[in-house]
Structure 1
Amino acid sequence: MRPKLELLSHKRKNQSFVCYELTQPSFDFFWHYHPEYELTYIISGKGRRLIGTNYELFSEGDLVLLGPDLPHTWIVEKNKKQLCKAIVIQFSKEFIEPFLQFGELKDVKKMIARSVKGIHFIPGKNSEVAAMIKQMPQFPESRRLIQLLFILQKLTETKAISLNAAEFKTVKGDYTEHRMNKIFQYVQNGYRQTISLKKAASLIHLSESAFCKYFKRFCGKTFSDYVNEIRIMHACQLLVETDIPVSRIAYDAGYESLTYFNRVFLKKKKISPNKFRQWG
């Protein structure tokens, strides 16, 4: 499976950008991309998000800015007790670029350039911007335009981190897109079982050594690092949300050895699984 190209122009109609609220019992895996920028704020719900090759847990208050053509998906399991809610703002290059020529928005211009890797605004540091975003769907269309520019300016003052390494290549070109997404889908579907380097390489008709170089060049990390990140994020979610013993969580996350799981977890999280559960 490859990420789907999502066409958003029909949503904009005669508007310069779109802003809407999503309220659903779950967010299914739908890895997609589009030429528009996207700002997504999570009002309620928790789960996992995959942006480029960055795989992390998210919860209420999560706020990210995505650049054009950056593949992404949010994954939330169905929860009868709580609906998942998000506010999504999407705007095109044609809309934002004329504003970026003004000196007053030089910091916004720098932030927009960084968004091609994905930007995560640290929860707890974005409360003022979050309040403005939550108001957006209720504003008249003329007010929304001014509010969006104000939000973008405020975001430049908010602590943030890039979600992908500098080496990450945004999806461009059907051939590369098709090859990489075969790999991503293989890992997404099978990380709880055995993941084979040989199998991954064969999916795109490369030798194992050539595959490792290709993956590292495209993603800025090794294939084993990528697999471990996805497995450890799954383990983190189980540690926080369940009382399942650590030994079973290790197995459920695709690790046959508890010792190796503990070593990888400590390397990735700088803390043991048991302490992570206590502090979570």
Structure 2
Amino acid sequence: MTVVPVYLTHYPNMDTELPFHIQINHLKRDFGSHRHDFLEFSYVIEGRGFEIINGVQHPMEPGTFTLVMPYQFHSIHSEKEHPLRLYNCNFGIHLYNSTEQLPGSVERLGERELLPYVQVPCEEQEQFQAILKELYAEYQGEQIWRHALIKVKLTEILVRFDRLRRSSQLVDSVSEAVKTEGRERGRANGDIWKAIQFVHEHYREDVTLSGLAQRFGFSVPYLSELFKKTIGQNFVSFVHEVRIRQACGLLIATEMTVLDIALETGYGSYNTFTRIFKESKGITPAIFRKQNKLQLTDQR
């Protein structure tokens, strides 16, 4: 029987001012194939196993750092005798606003000819673990400048990962099939990430498929198909998803009226916003705000 990969749509703190979550997981059994629209990295502390990303398998052992880009299918398999213990971190593509992009931008992190993982050398593992320990502690705390320091530490770990994989011989060992695919689809891959990132930055505006196609030099039908292949949904649904996610954060973190939030997230009318919000979340914006405000109060 064919197993359909799960599409994960949520992680803790996703709809908040800081769309970021990090935890330490103990995998005593496999985590089946799934995908999601946010970024995820993992770092193995102990144990052994392997991970499959878009059909390509790589080993997991102490020191393995993996970055999974949005919409990639992946699964983790843990050895029963040596179960994996690892950091797992999820964060939204919009965690950094347009003036403070992820280093080198998202499309650079997801370059097709680069492997999505690296085996950190023994002499550098202590440094990686120190950064992750600080990142984890900052996330657990409530000190002033918490959000800023989390972004700094996240940026540092991603920069070190990307530098390491680019300077290592792993890049040269990528299979010829992957290299060929990368050469053939390199431009499309880079530009679709630019288009996705553009939507995340300009969701307040009247973003259209034809406008994006013109901006990035694609035909409308081709860009439409590229969206479906990359993210598994059509362009209009994707724009609504981005806007509603931003609206959720504003409903929880601010006292803005629902109408103001509708306008702030690119909707021209209150009725359109509430209809699409209810279709997405199953409840009205007002009820969503009330429920999540109560949860925040209970947590405190």
TM-score of the superposition, structure 1-length normalised? 0.51
Q: Is the CA contact 1:66–1:118 (under 8 Å) kept in the aligned structure 2?
A: no
Deviation digits for residues 73-111 of structure 1, max 9, x if unmatched?
1101323xx552110111111113625558xx33x5563
* Structure 2 residue 232 is matched with structure 1 residue 173: yes
Q: Is the CA contact 1:66–1:115 (under 8 Å) kept in the aligned structure 2?
A: no
Q: Which residue of structure 2 lines up, in the alignment, with residue 98 of structure 1?
A: 98
**Structure 1: gaps (5+ residues):** 175-280
CA distance, structure 2, for counterparts of residue 63 and residue 21 of structure 1: 14
Q: Is the CA contact 2:40–2:89 (under 8 Å) kept in the aligned structure 1?
A: yes
CA distance, structure 2, for counterparts of residue 97 and residue 71 of structure 1: 26
Q: How many residues align?
A: 169
Identity, % of aligned pairs?
16
Relative distance call for 1:115 and 1:131 in structure 2 (3 A) is farther
Q: Is the CA contact 1:39–1:66 (under 8 Å) kept in the aligned structure 2?
A: yes
Relative distance call for 1:30 and 1:99 in structure 2 (3 A) is farther
2:19 maps to which of 16, 20, 27 = 16
Aligned-pair distance for 1:45?
Answer: 1.0
Q: Which residue of structure 2 lines up, in the alignment, with residue 137 of structure 1?
A: 136
Alignment of 1:120-131 (within 5 A): 120-124=117-121, 126-127=124-125, 128-131=127-130
**Structure 2: gaps (5+ residues):** 186-228, 234-300
Relative distance call for 1:76 and 1:110 in structure 2 (3 A) is same
2:154 maps to which of 116, 124, 148 = 148
Equivalent position amino acid for 1:65 in 2 = L
Relative distance call for 1:12 and 1:109 in structure 2 (3 A) is closer
Q: Which residue of structure 1 lines up, in the alignment, with residue 80 of structure 2?
A: 78
Q: Is the CA contact 1:67–1:117 (under 8 Å) kept in the aligned structure 2?
A: no
Q: Which residue of structure 2 lines up, in the alignment, with residue 112 of structure 1?
A: 109
* Structure 2 residue 45 is matched with structure 1 residue 43: yes
RMSD, matched Cα: 3.2
CA distance, structure 1, for counterparts of residue 113 and residue 130 of structure 2: 25
Q: Is the CA contact 1:40–1:64 (under 8 Å) kept in the aligned structure 2?
A: yes
Query: Helix, strand or coil: the match of 1:30?
Result: strand
Deviation digits for residues 182-201 of structure 1, max 9, x if unmatched?
xxxxxxxxxxxxxxxxxxxx
Aligned-pair distance for 1:21?
Answer: 1.1
Q: Is the CA contact 1:6–1:33 (under 8 Å) kept in the aligned structure 2?
A: yes
Aligned-pair distance for 1:72?
Answer: 0.6
Aligned-pair distance for 1:28?
Answer: 1.2
Aligned-pair distance for 1:55?
Answer: 1.2
TM-score of the superposition, structure 2-length normalised? 0.48
Q: Which residue of structure 1 lines up, in the alignment, with residue 71 of structure 2?
A: 69
Q: Which residue of structure 1 lines up, in the alignment, with residue 89 of structure 2?
A: 89
Deviation digits for residues 202-248 of structure 1, max 9, x if unmatched?
xxxxxxxxxxxxxxxxxxxxxxxxxxxxxxxxxxxxxxxxxxxxxxx
State which drifts further: 58-67 or 4-13: 4-13
Aligned-pair distance for 1:53?
Answer: 1.5
